[in-house]
Structure formats: C-alpha cells, structure tokens
C-alpha cells in the first residue's frame, strides 16, 4: 500500500472513543496537529472505515495512503495469485494482500504478505491491524511509494522480524530480495525461489508477463 509524506494527528478529545468518531463527516474534519498524544492501535480500530481505509497508523500518526495504478494493481493480484495457489496446494500457510500488521508501532499493509501455518492461528479476523508480522512481505514500487520510502519500510519490516522482503520495481521489471543476512537482485529469466516456500519456482518474466 502506498504511503504519502503527510500526516494527520488526531486531537486527544476526538480520539477518546467511537461516539466522537461517528460525528466526523470526512477526513477533512479531523483536527490536525493539535495534540501531542499519539493514537494507539486501539484508537485506530475504532475509526470509521472512510478514514481508516485511506490511512495507515505509523508511530501514533495517521499517514494518508494513495490509490495505485492499474499495472501496480495487476502485478499485486498476479503475485498474490501465484504465491496463493502454491501455498494452498502445499498447505504452507496463508497469502493475503494489503493486510496491515504491527511493524514496531507502524501499521503498514504490504502489497502481498505470506505467513506460515504456525502464525495462522494468530490472525484476528475482527482487527484491522494484526499483532504479529508476516514471514514474507512484498512491496511494489509506485509513483508515491518509491526508492527511499520503500527502503525505510524494508528496514522496519526486517527489524520487526520479517524473514524476507521483496521490493518489486515495475519500471525495472526486477525484484530485490532482502533477508536478515543479505540481498540479491532478480531480473528477466532469473528464477524466484525462497526457503519460506520450498519448491516455488517462477521467473521474473513469468511473474510480470505482458504487463
């Protein structure tokens, strides 16, 4: 999911509970930068959908997130389908797209995430932000979520305990794979493999297809 550079901080009295949130008619009604009290994930869970769905909670502040281009959306869908079909066939866990997790106080939603069977019971179907981290997080570069922003996310993901992060460049048609011990660049006919999904084997060209 794409994160903007701006941030909204909710006034303490507004963040008090759901009754106050229900009085908001839109994100522009939110009081900005009037409180030093950061929001918690519990506050975020009480936000109305029209606000929560267009923001991420990062270090106590609401960060606007933008929409994506068709190529971004199609690549996310293709990645989710490729991994999801493999994971389902081999009963390895779960693949999910745009799900928010708690990365050391940041509620980021990677474009695609995978977590193994040991973490499936941790999934809370009633919460927006999951209180664990996935084993694999995939982020796709976009106009509003490029280079430096993705590197910051990657670093936070790894610090939070994510075992592997893929940063996908649509322009370069390449994937940079990061683990806790190093990184590698995959392009063209290079085969995508990972210890997290034994037996997975697809090339960069196959993943991108005609995009």
pTM: 0.83
Q: How far is CA 111 from CA 23, 30, 40, 60, in A?
A: 31, 27, 23, 22
- Of 173, 136, 174, which Cα lies nearest the Cα of 157? 136
What are the structural domains of the chain? 2-66 (no CATH), 70-208 (3.90.1570.10)
Residue pLDDT, tens place only, 54-110: 899 999 999 888 778 999 999 999 999 999 999 999 999 999 999 999 999 999 999
What does the alpha-carbon distance between residue 57 and residue 129 come to, in Å, rounded to a whole number?
Answer: 9
pLDDT tens across 8-56, in order? 444 443 444 444 444 443 443 443 333 468 999 999 999 999 888 889 9
CA 97 to chain centre: 8
């Amino acid at each position: 999911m794409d994160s903007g550079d701006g941030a909204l901080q909710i006034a303490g009295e507004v963040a008090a509970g759901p009754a106050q949130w229900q009085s908001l008619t839109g994100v522009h009604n939110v009081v900005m930068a009037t409180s030093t009290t950061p929001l918690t994930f519990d506050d975020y869970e009480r936000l109305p959908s029209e606000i929560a769905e267009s923001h991420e909670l990062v270090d106590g502040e609401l960060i606007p997130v933008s929409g994506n281009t068709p190529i971004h959306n199609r690549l996310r869908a293709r990645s989710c389908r490729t991994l999801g079909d493999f994971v389902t066939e081999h009963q390895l866990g779960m693949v999910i797209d745009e799900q928010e997790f708690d990365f050391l106080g940041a509620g980021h939603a990677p474009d695609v995430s995978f977590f193994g069977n040991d973490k499936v019971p941790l999934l809370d179907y009633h919460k927006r932000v999951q209180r664990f981290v996935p084993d694999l997080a995939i982020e796709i570069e976009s106009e509003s979520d490029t280079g430096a922003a993705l590197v910051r996310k990657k670093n936070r993901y790894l610090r939070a305990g994510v075992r592997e992060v893929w940063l996908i460049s649509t322009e370069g048609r390449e994937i940079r794979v990061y683990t806790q011990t190093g990184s590698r660049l995959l392009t063209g006919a290079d085969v995508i493999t990972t210890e997290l999904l034994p037996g997975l084997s697809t090339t960069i060209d196959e993943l991108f297809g005609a995009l």
